[in-house]
Amino acid sequence: MEQLRQTPSQTVGPFFAYALTAEQYGYPYDSLMNHTLVSLDTPGQRIVVTGQVWDGAGATISDAVVELWQADAQGHYRTAPIEGNTATHTDRGFLGFGRVGTGTLPGHRYQFTTLKPGATGEGSAPHINVMLMMRGSLRNLYTRLYFADEPEANAQDILLNAVPAERRATLLAHRKEVNGEIRYIFDIHMQGSDETVFFEL
């Protein structure tokens, strides 16, 4: 079968914020997604997912965009269409998709409020899909966040086990409780001895 050629990728550049993350950065435009993947009534364990993106010289990256796509607490991805014209739209239910830039928090952190996903099936440990875009990156980068406190499930995960053992730790988020809030820290390293494993889809 004849295949059309894909449209080539280009960098998101430094000036995405007033369109992609306008509310977070205080621009006069609304945002379809933001740091919150859950609505108030979504069942599941509330967690914060946070971290920094590091360049090859050990500096934090201030102009990256991070997107998360994950299943709910039962391991189901959302299938219902996304409706409503702002990220704060109240009847959206569990969105499962979020987007933030790294330019507004101290230390160039990204931070999401979500819930801990359930495993999506046999051979799959709870995980969050992570998409990373930034100035200086000519293509989207896809990686996965797994939970360091799920060693048994992680040992069964087909994708995680396909990663060379010495690099698996780059995909593990570490749990930390801060004032009753459960945080998972997931740093992304572009280069160096801790270089994050990125996947090709």
* Residues contributing to the site for Fe ion (CB under 5 A): 13
Residue 193 binding result from other proteins, Fe ion, none, given CB thresholds of 5 to 8 Å by partner type: none
DSSP character at residue 135:
T
User: Which residues, in sequence order, are CB contacts of 32 under 8 Å at separation 6+?
Assistant: 82, 85, 86, 87
Give the CA dihedral 160, 34, 27, 50, nearest 10 degrees: -50
Stretch that binds other proteins, among 35-43, 44-52, 177-185, 191-199 (CB under 8 A): 191-199
Which residue, 14 or 107, has its beta carbon nearer to Fe ion?
A: 14
Instruction: Copy the structure tokens of residue 94.
Output: 């569990």
Give the CA dihedral 71, 73, 75, 81, nearest 10 degrees: -40
Footprint of other proteins on 49-78 (CB under 8 A): 55-57, 59, 61, 63, 67, 69, 77-78
Footprint of other proteins on 139-158 (CB under 8 A): 139-142, 158
Which residue, 132 or 183, has its beta carbon nearer to other proteins?
A: 132
Stretch that binds other proteins, among 40-48, 106-114, 138-146, 173-181 (CB under 8 A): 138-146
